[in-house]
Amino acid sequence: MESRIAYRRYCRVCWYGGRCWRIALTGSFQRAQNWGGILGVALLGFVLQQLGKQIIPAESWADIAAQGLLYIAAAWLLIFLVRLFFIAPFLIYREGDWFGNTFVYKEPKLAFRTYVSPAENNKIFKFTFPDAPPFAFTKYKIILEGRSDLISVIVGAHPYATPDMKSENDLQYTGGEMTLNQNRDFYLKIFMRNDADPMAVRIYVHSWKEFAQSDGAQPSDTIQKDFEPARWG
C-alpha cells in the first residue's frame, strides 16, 4: 500500500513538473522579444552592479547586435522563471481539481480539432494529449460541427484499435473512455456519407485518471465503453 501511494505521488510530481515546464516555455520567447530591451537591460544592469561592473556602450553594429541578443536572452530567462514559479501553478489550479487519483477539468480540454470530408474516409488522424501522464484513463467527448447522422467517428490508442468503416452509420458515438498508450497518443478515424458536406471534428477531454504501475495491473490501450449514440437535431 505504501509503495503504491509513493508511486502515485511520484507520478503526480512528474506530471506537475512537466506541465509547469511546458507552460513556462509557451510564449516566453515571444514575450522576451517584446520586453527584451527593458527587462534585459534591467536584469543585466542589476547583475553587473552586484559584480561591481557597468554596461559598456556599443561602439559598432556587431556590438549592438550582440547586446540585443544578450538582452533578449536575459529577458527570456526572467520571463521563463516568472512563468515557471508563479504563472504555471496558477494556470494549472484554474484548469481543474484532483478527486483522489482523478483530475477533472473545470472546462473540457480541447485535445484535437480537424476539418474532414468524405475524401478522408478511413484516414487515420494521429494526435497527442500531453497534459495527461502515460497510460492515463481518459474520458473524452466528440463534438461535430455538422450533421452527426452523416458521419461515423472512432477513437483509439493504436491504429489497430480503429478498424475501417463501411458506412456513416457504423459508429455514431458522441464520446467514450480510453486508456492512453505510453506516448499519450490518440488515433481518430472517420467515415462520411459521400454527399456530406465537410465539417469540423473536435475531441475534448473531460477528465483523466492516473495509472499506478505498482497495482500490478497492465494498462489497456483500447478501453472503450459506455458510448452514447450520436443524435442530430
The DSSP string of 46-102 is HHHHHTT--PPPP-SHHHHHHHHHHHHHHHHHHHHHHIIIIIHHHHHHHHEEEETTE
Tens of pLDDT, residues 180-194:
888 889 999 999 999
> Residue 207: its pLDDT value, please?
94
> Residue 223: its pLDDT value, please?
40
> Residue 190: its pLDDT value, please?
93
Crossing angle for the helix pair 61-82 and 28-35, nearest 10 degrees?
130
What is the residue whose three cell numbers read 506530471? Answer: 15
> Residue 45: its pLDDT value, please?
55
Instruction: Give mean pLDDT, residues 197-217.
Output: 78
> Residue 219: its pLDDT value, please?
43
- Written as nine digits, the cell of 13 is 510530481
On whether the CB atoms of residues 118 and 67 are closer than 8 A, the answer is no
Tens of pLDDT, residues 63-115:
545 655 666 677 677 777 777 777 777 777 778 888 888 999 999 999 999 99
> Residue 28: its pLDDT value, please?
63
CA 210 – CA 15 distance, rounded (Å)? 10
* Residue 47 CB-density burial (10 A; 0-12 exposed, 13-18 middle, 19+ buried): exposed
Dmax over CA atoms of the chain, in Å, equals 75
- Written as nine digits, the cell of 70 is 544578450
- Written as nine digits, the cell of 87 is 504563472
Domain span(s) for CATH 2.60.120 in the chain: 100-215
On whether the CB atoms of residues 99 and 51 are closer than 8 A, the answer is no
Give the residue with greater pLDDT, 167 vs 57: 167
CATH code linked to domain 100-215: 2.60.120
> Residue 181: its pLDDT value, please?
85
Residue count of the chain, please give it: 233
Instruction: Give mean pLDDT, residues 7-35.
Output: 66
CB-based contacts of 22, cutoff 8 Å, min separation 6: 130
End-to-end CA distance of the chain: 50
Share of the chain above pLDDT 70, in %: 63
Instruction: Give mean pLDDT, residues 151-172.
Output: 86
**Phi and psi (nearest 5°) for 4?**
-65, -45
Of the given ranges (128-132, 168-172, 210-214, 218-222), which has the lowest mean pLDDT?
A: 218-222
Instruction: Give mean pLDDT, residues 30-36.
Output: 54
* pLDDT greater than 60 at residue 228: no
On whether the CB atoms of residues 178 and 224 are closer than 8 A, the answer is yes
3-state secondary structure of 40: helix
